[in-house]
């Protein structure tokens, strides 16, 4: 699995993670079964008009690093706690960003896409909470078209 645009610096990764981790919704975790994970990925792909990525779960991910990650064509959720809507939304925002935008890892394009995914698949209040956290930690986001 290769991450697209390796030459682009992922300069706001750490502050985006801090912002994310400061949100209450990030800790309201419900682990979902494999079938529902696939369903959520399919719904997000359909909503954002992208090709559905291939999913790799724990048993298949031994060949990968044990971190949740994504490319334009795949999403890896290597541990059970990653099988929740919060992780899926984060990783699917990468897939969308790489497929239809200028893939900038955790940059402004990703952050804006992530807010849209949160709004559509977790909720408006959670989107507002994440925007407030982004503003607090200095995460820039592009909400363009």
pLDDT at 62: 53
β-partners of residue 56 are: 76
Query: Does some domain include residue 117?
Result: yes
Query: From CA 54, how far away is CA 11, in angstroms rounded?
Result: 27
- Structural domain count of the chain: 1
Query: Does some domain include residue 132?
Result: yes
- Residues 105/76, Cβ–Cβ less than 8 Å: no
Kindly indicate the confidence band of residue 59, based on its pLDDT and cuts at 50, 70 and 90: low
Query: Does some domain include residue 5?
Result: no
Angle at 107 between CA 137 and CA 74, to 5 degrees: 125
Report which of residues 120 and 57 the model is more confident about: 120
Query: Does some domain include residue 7?
Result: no
Query: Does some domain include residue 6?
Result: no
Tens of pLDDT, residues 23-55? 999 999 999 999 999 999 999 999 999 999 999
Query: Does some domain include residue 47?
Result: yes
pLDDT at 92: 97
Query: Does some domain include residue 103?
Result: yes
Tens of pLDDT, residues 68-78? 889 999 999 98
Query: Does some domain include residue 53?
Result: yes
β-partners of residue 77 are: 57
Q: Which domain holds residue 29?
A: 13-137
User: Which helix (H) or strand (E) segment is 135 a member of?
Assistant: helix 124-137
Hey, which bits of 1-145 come out as E strands? Answer: 54-57, 69-70, 74-77
């Amino acid at each position: 699995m290769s991450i697209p645009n390796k030459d682009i610096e992922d300069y706001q990764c750490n502050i985006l993670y801090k912002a994310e981790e400061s949100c209450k919704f990030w800790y309201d975790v419900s682990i979902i079964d494999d079938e529902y994970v696939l369903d959520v990925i399919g719904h997000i792909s359909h909503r954002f008009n992208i090709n559905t990525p291939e999913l790799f779960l724990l048993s298949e991910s031994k060949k990968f690093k044990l971190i949740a990650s994504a490319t334009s064509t795949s999403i890896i959720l290597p541990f059970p706690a990653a099988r929740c809507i919060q992780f899926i939304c984060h990783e699917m925002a990468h897939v969308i960003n790489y497929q239809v935008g200028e893939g900038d890892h955790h940059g402004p394009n990703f952050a804006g896409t992530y807010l849209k995914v949160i709004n559509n698949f977790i909720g408006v209040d959670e989107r507002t909470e994440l925007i407030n956290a982004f503003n607090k930690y200095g995460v820039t986001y592009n909400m363009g078209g």
